[in-house]
Amino acid sequence: DAGITQSPRHKVTETGTPVTLRCHQTENHRYMYWYRQDPGHGLRLIHYSYGVKDTDKGEVSDGYSVSRSKTEDFLLTLESATSSQTSVYFCAINRGGKETQYFGPGTRLLVL
């Protein structure tokens, strides 16, 4: 979707290093979300934001932190990456009456 970008799209890192993923939206939506996708689990919510500087935890928040200093950017940080955080990470925003989430292209993260 042209309105949501994620960077980087692919990243390989080593255990113990910090990693920051960025989600950028151009449509001024209030709600933004970070999910991770793993085989057998579908997508699981990590953290989400309901406004600038307003964030909350999701189902699998341990080992992750987020920040949202402006409407368009939502950052996900792995303070000290572990192999269990190898996954595909998707950012999402609400659009169209706020009930429907639309997803960015995803970031593939490999932690060695």
Partner 1 sequence: AQKVTQAQTEISVVEKEDVTLDCVYETRDTTYYLFWYKQPPSGELVFLIRRNSFDEQNEISGRYSWNFQKSTSSFNFTITASQVVDSAVYFCALSGDRSNDYKLSFGAGTTVTVRA
Distance CA 44, CA 74 (A): 17
Which residues have a Cβ under 8 Å from the Cβ of 22 and sit 6 or more positions away? 6, 7, 73, 74, 75, 76
Distance CA 21, CA 88 (A): 11
Near partner 1 by CB under 8 A, which window of 10-18, 20-28, 68-76, 101-109? 101-109
Kindly tell me which of 31 and 63 has the beta carbon lying closer to partner 1.
31
Residue 110 lies near partner 1 (rule: CB under 8 A): no
User: Within 30-89, which residues bind partner 1 (CB under 8 A)?
Assistant: 31, 33, 35, 40-45, 48, 50, 56, 58, 88
Which of 25, 85, 87, 94 touches partner 1 (CB under 8 A)? 94
